[in-house]
Structure 1
Amino acid sequence: METILSVRDLTVAFHTYAGTVQAVRGVSFDLKKGETLAIVGESGSGKSVTSKAIMRLIPNPPGEITNGEIIFEDRDLVKLSDKEMQKVRGRDIAMIFQDPMTSLNPTMTIYKQIAEGLKRHQGLTGDAAKKRTLELLTLVGIPNPEARLKQYPHQLSGGMRQRIVIAIALACNPKVLIADEPTTALDVTIQAQILELLKDIQQKTGTAIIFITHDLGVVANMADRVAVMYAGKLIEKGTVDEIFYEPRHPYTWGLLGSMPRPSDDRSQDLPAIPGTPPNLLHPPTGDAFAPRNQYAMKIDFEKEPPFFRITDTHEAATWLLHPQAPYVEPPAAIRDLALKYRPDSTFAKSLLKGGLK
């Protein structure tokens, strides 16, 4: 598939009274046309900052894109002026934020909020704008759309408000849609509806989606590819099956091991990754995950690991993939997933031999 967006060595810093926070540190990835790329990781790992950097929504001061490129349609978005970026934002690249109540203007009707983008980017007014607004409300599953035009955000439920936010994002037929934890503020039933809606919209429109989340359960049903982020860096990238059933980074093992499963004994505590992420005011030397990694070696504390290529679509930044690294035994939950769902994979076969290499 053709690449529509390329992020190269993106670095974002926030200058605070306490010092400079290195929030995003050399992130690189590609987004293909029509695919969903999920970026996952704990809170504070840099996922949302990365997405806002793509939209050029980092507040300056205190934030600043200090290095890197964001290539979209042969243009580097980092180098565009604010006026030039305004033409891209909303029309070519749109964003769905976490909380619909803070994304919507409480003083404007639903119609005015959707029609604003139609007028600015497509020149639609009057009956044409109204017709397109009704089409969008129908697309996102709003019942009785005509009656919603004069309503205000507070008159709608949380799920309906999020559908309105999605309608605004889709108004100008963007080529890239960034969804920043769009279901976090919603209950479980509404979450499922919104996720199904996004999948359906993608099939109808062919929009490429960057899906930001900390919920790996969501990723399994939404994503084509997954990028795992920790302490401002990407540490593993692969297809959704490779990340779920053949993970290679110990942090990815921890995330997958922390997922509740229907067969789990509810009387037992859910496994958790010990420790906390590092303070990015003072990024650590070596592998940032080393202090929390039970498999860490001396080199993890001294030198940052490069990405080791596993397949054409799968790579991970861990010294465990170095040819001279010792064999290790992944957690039982990771072994069980691989042996059950990918028994013929190289990963599963290496586990059966007694270790991972």
Structure 2
Amino acid sequence: MEDTTILDVKNLAISFKTFEGDVKAVRGVEFSLKKGETLAIVGESGSGKSVSTKAINRLLPKKNTMIDSGEILFEGKDLLKCSEKEMQKIRGNDIAMIFQDPMTSLNPTMQVGKQIAEPVRTHKGCTKEEAKERALELMELVGIHSPKQSYKSYPHQFSGGMRQRVMIAIALACEPKILIADEPTTALDVTIQAQILDLMNKLKKELDTSIIFITHDLGVVAQMADRVAVMYAGQIVEVGTADEIFYNPMHPYTWGLLASMPTLDVEETNLYTIPGSPPNLLHPPEGDAFAARNEYALAIDFYEEPELFQVSDTHYAKTWLLHPDAPDVTPPEEVIRRKEKFEMLHLGKGQSARVGGEAIGSHS
């Protein structure tokens, strides 16, 4: 992986106008993406994952959306300042997206082969025959059987897994520099999900594409990500390498996500759940947005927002528990017990399982 930053999001804040007021959906989000890297953005529904990434391709509704602040620098160019004409050249060509449900993204009246060929003709100026040849190559690349026969098929004739492969082929048609995958395997069964994830990892290596992978499934994160950003209530509350997030998590919200992840342990009958629900972002709370749900909350959490404390060169967490004067807190037993299980189930294939030899939760 090259140590070249291809995307840099700085202080991004986005609001939506509603009849009740302005919903502060994204609040000061910052993250970067390196060439050839997979960054997973994880969090509950409504945490701001999809809104943040749709802003990259300027796909948010214009009528009620306000970009309150921020920059989205793609190869040094601020996408928020680009005209619509400039964005049309970037979308699909330099930055492509795979959405959660292919049936709502694919044209039901158009042959799948032509849908794959369309971005090639639009962005590359190819002839009809050249675009068709490229589409057939892509269909073979993503594992669609008998491309010449399948080219003339319609979306309803494909299974869910095959439709998602079509979406990946469309996204890869112009060999984009960045691929944004917005929960692309949520609607698929676990066997097909595994095939799609393996395919994306394979294509990433072959094409050297950078990927932003949006999900709420930490099992998927363990298989896909080089780095992980954890989002809550419109903010990134922890960011680090996959190993750091899984084996040395620092934020109580990350602890809750890890503890609530199901495992294959048959003795566990009750799944841990994070108490309460996310705050109403019409009126974001003072202090730490997670404080009301946090059993480890300190008094300061309820009136002063924590800074992003540095744990290592690559690991940061937005929690007062990392302040030098904070009491030493041990993560929930569920997080500690899952440590070795994560290693066996998800990170056992050639990845290191510990960060600097530290135990989970140490922040001395």
- Normalized against structure 2, the TM-score is what? 0.94
Letter in 1 for 2:7: L
Distance across 2 between alignment mates of 1:215 and 1:285: 29
| 1:39 aligned residue | 41
Cα deviation for residue 345 of structure 1 reads 4.1
**Structure 2 match to 1:218:** 220
Task: Note the 1:1-357 alignment, pairs <5 A.
Answer: 1-266=3-268, 268-337=269-338, 345=356, 347-348=358-359, 357=364
Distance 2:56 2:354 in 1: 39
1:103-161, Cα deviation, whole Å (9 max, x unpaired): 10111111221121111100112221111000000010000010111111111111110
Is the contact between residue 338 and residue 347 of structure 1 (CA under 8 Å) also seen in structure 2?
no
Instruction: Check whether the contact 2:262–2:271 (CA below 8 A) recurs between aligned residues.
Output: yes
> Following TM superposition, by how much is the alpha carbon of 1:185 offset from its aligned partner in structure 2, in angstroms?
1.0
Amino acid paired to 2:185: T
Q: Residues 307 and 94 of structure 1: is their aligned pair in 2 closer, same or farther, counting only changes over 3 Å?
A: same
Q: Which amino acid aligns with 2:270?
A: D
Moved over 3 A (4+): 336-347
Relative to structure 1, the CA distance from residue 46 to residue 309 in structure 2 (aligned partners, 3 Å threshold; closer, same or farther) is same
**Are residues 23 and 349 of structure 1, via their aligned partners in 2, closer, same or farther at CA, if it must alter by over 3 Å?**
closer
Contact 1:245 1:334 in 2 (8 A): no
Q: What is the identity, as a one-letter code, of the residue corresponding to 1:35?
A: E
Deviates more, 1:61-70 or 1:136-145: 61-70
Higher mean C-alpha deviation, range 76-85 or range 107-116: 107-116
Does the 8 A contact of 1:5 with 1:72 survive in 2? Answer: yes
Alpha-carbon separation, structure 2, partners of 1:225 and 1:92: 21
Long gaps (5+) in structure 1? none
CA contact (8 A) 1:254 1:273 kept: yes
> Please, what is the CA RMSD of the aligned residues?
1.5
Distance 1:136 1:286 in 2: 49
Q: Is the 8 A contact 1:36 1:210 kept in 2?
A: yes
Cα offset, 1:350, TM superposition: 7.3
SS of equivalent residue, structure 1 residue 265? coil
- The AA in structure 2 aligned to 1:66 is D
Q: Is the 8 A contact 1:158 1:186 kept in 2?
A: yes
Change (3 A) 1:243 1:64: same
**Quick check: 2:248–2:361 contact (8 Å CA) kept in 1?**
no
Gaps of 5+ in 2: 344-352
Aligned partner letter, 2:304: K
Query: What secondary structure, in the 3-state scheme, does the structure 1 residue paired with 2:265 have?
Result: coil
The AA in structure 1 aligned to 2:359 is A
**Contact 1:35–1:208 (Cα < 8 Å) also in 2:** yes
Q: Percent identity?
A: 63
